[in-house]
Structure 1
Amino acid sequence: MISYLTKRLASLFASLLVASIVIFTVIEVIPGDPAAYMLGMNARADTIAALRSELGLDGGVLERYLAWVGGMLVGDFGTSYTYRTPVADMIADRLWISLPLALYALCLTIVIAIPTGVFAASRRGQAGDYGIVGATQIGVAIPNFWFAMILILIFAIQLRWFSAGGFPGWEKGFWLSVKALTLPAIALALPQAAILTRVMRSSLIEVLGEDFMRTARAKGLTSWQTILHHGLRNALIPVLTIIGLQFAFLLAGGIIIEQVFALPGLGRLVFQSISQRDLIVVESVVMLLVFAVIMTNFLVDLAYAVVDPRLRVAR
């Protein structure tokens, strides 16, 4: 287990190092002078020089990279050129929207997909299985922003159970904030649940054909006892992989849903920063999202060791 954990930690740090180099190069080196890009083509030379000095761009590339990474390690992401506000404060304010939204959507995805996938696998070739497979095909094919607009039309405009958009803030009350995130979470969760259901179904069907499953049935266990006690755990490894990827997508890829529901989250912050050429905010938020993706994959690797005891044995 120690050897497995050490290898995963080494992979984690190597991935973060490579990601930081790529992000810094793409945003600050390849476009040329970041100050000139942020101010536009018609900016005066003295204005560009003043902004370069303000942003600390007078040093070399390596010096700027080390300063950027060192600042992030201590929580200093710089100051936004557009808003004149510390980027760390902007990220913290919006993270309290994007992170609960991603967790909410992921919980809905798991609650929907795991039981549905198990039921479909246990009814393979029957009407229930065909119905679930057909529903998942529709869920995969239809984009989440279409689901979002349908949910707004039905539950916000027609039934008036939820608001059509906006976020009141956690200080206004926990349940009021959760209610504001419900429709966006459902819109994000439905397509992901369709994907996870298909993976769960395929993985469990494969496990049901293994010899140890037939042995369990021969010992007198019922079909559902065999599935729940022996099949489900062995079928979870590919499912955990998809769950990790989905959480990363839900956290970093909810920009369209945040736009539809007017949620001031990280995705909307990136969109606004790109349109305003605020490169400091863009590279900081992108690096934070990449860190979340890599950390999620690391946690998924640890979950593999919990699910599959063979990985805990050092080779």
Structure 2
Amino acid sequence: MTLFVLKRLGSLLASLLAASLVIFLVLEVLPGDPAAFMLGLNAAPDTVAALRDQLGLNAPLWARYGGWLAGMTVGDFGISYTYRVPVADLIGARLGVSLPLAIYALTLSTLIAIPMGALAAASRNSPLDTGIMGVTQLGIAVPNFWFAMLLVLAFSVGLRWFSAGGFPGWDDPYAAMKALTLPAVALALPQASILARMMRSALIDTLDEDYIRTARAKGLSRGQALRHHALRNALIPVLTIMGLQFSFLLAGAIIIENVFFLPGLGRLVFQAINARDLIVVRSVVMLLVFAVVAVNFIVDVTYALVDPRLRRPVT
């Protein structure tokens, strides 16, 4: 098991190193000078050159990459060109919105998807199954930003149950969770649809296994066999999707955060791109890549704990 974890850890570090190089180089070749953008079109060339030197943009490419990489290992992402504060502080403040939002959305999608998928599998090929699959297909097809605007029109403008946007902070936890509810529902809709379809498929495959037939032969009803035997095994591929969904929810909420004016990571990236604050964009994207790779690593290790066959070397 130790060798398996070390191999996966080595793969994780290699993936992060490759991703950091790609992210750095892609942002470096983008047109435009951050210093000139900050000073405006009428800035004198010597002023632009002085600002470039102050921001460290005149250093060699390899030196800037090495410095950024070394700083990330100790949690130092550099200084924002626009805000002139440590990027780590900006990210930490915005994570206080994006991370709870991702957890909230994943919780909602799980609470919706698992029962729907199990119900569809238990009533396979029935009108109920067809109806649930039709709803999930609609949930996948509908863009979440359009669904978010419908939620605003219905529950903010019409019923006035929720605010249309903004975030009051965590001083009042109830108000904070209320402000995150509509964005979480908008994010959860497509994820719940995908998860429900995966749950149905995994359960149907599991219900056709021999041990389920044996359980039924011993007198268990279809529902009892599903709850006590099939559900646990069917959750293994579903957990993989859930792990990937969490990474997506953390990284993919840019549009939703802008619809609801939430001060999260997505809105920070959007503002940094507009301001050509490349060090913020670079660091946030790298953090999101780390989240995706780390979740995959945790899923791989969890699988190995559950199924010892995965720890055996390939011969």
Residue 58 in 1 paired to residue 58 in 2? yes
Report the AA paired with residue 74 of structure 1: V
**Correspondence list, 1:122-133, <5 A:** 122-133=122-133
Pairwise CA distance, 1:148: 0.9
**C-alpha distance in structure 1 between counterparts of 2:44 and 2:285, whole Å:** 29
What does residue 269 of structure 1 align with?
268
Say if 1:39 and 1:310 are closer, same or farther in 2 by CA, change over 3 A: farther
**Length-normalised TM-score, structure 1:** 0.93
- Tell me the secondary structure at the aligned position of residue 133 of structure 2: helix
**Aligned 8 A contact 2:38 2:82 in 1:** no
**Aligned 8 A contact 1:2 1:314 in 2:** no
Q: Which runs of 5+ in 2 are unaligned?
A: none
**Aligned 8 A contact 1:234 1:307 in 2:** no
What does residue 48 of structure 2 align with?
48
What does residue 86 of structure 1 align with?
86
Moved >6 Å (runs of 4+): none
Pairwise CA distance, 1:314: 6.2
**Aligned 8 A contact 1:87 1:281 in 2:** yes
**Aligned 8 A contact 1:81 1:278 in 2:** yes
**Aligned 8 A contact 1:38 1:279 in 2:** no
**C-alpha distance in structure 2 between counterparts of 1:34 and 1:17, whole Å:** 25
What does residue 104 of structure 1 align with?
104
Pairwise CA distance, 1:42: 6.1
Per-residue CA shift, 1:40-90, capped at 9, x if unaligned? 776543233212211223332222111001111122111111122221111
**C-alpha distance in structure 2 between counterparts of 1:135 and 1:300, whole Å:** 29
What does residue 239 of structure 1 align with?
238
**Correspondence list, 1:97-176, <5 A:** 97-171=97-171, 173-176=172-175
**Aligned 8 A contact 1:233 1:307 in 2:** no
What does residue 199 of structure 2 align with?
200
**C-alpha distance in structure 2 between counterparts of 1:43 and 1:245, whole Å:** 46
**C-alpha distance in structure 1 between counterparts of 2:177 and 2:138, whole Å:** 27
Question: Percent of counterpart pairs with the same letter?
Answer: 66
**Length-normalised TM-score, structure 2:** 0.93
Report the AA paired with residue 148 of structure 1: A
Report the AA paired with residue 301 of structure 1: D
Pairwise CA distance, 1:12: 0.8
Say if 1:184 and 1:275 are closer, same or farther in 2 by CA, change over 3 A: same
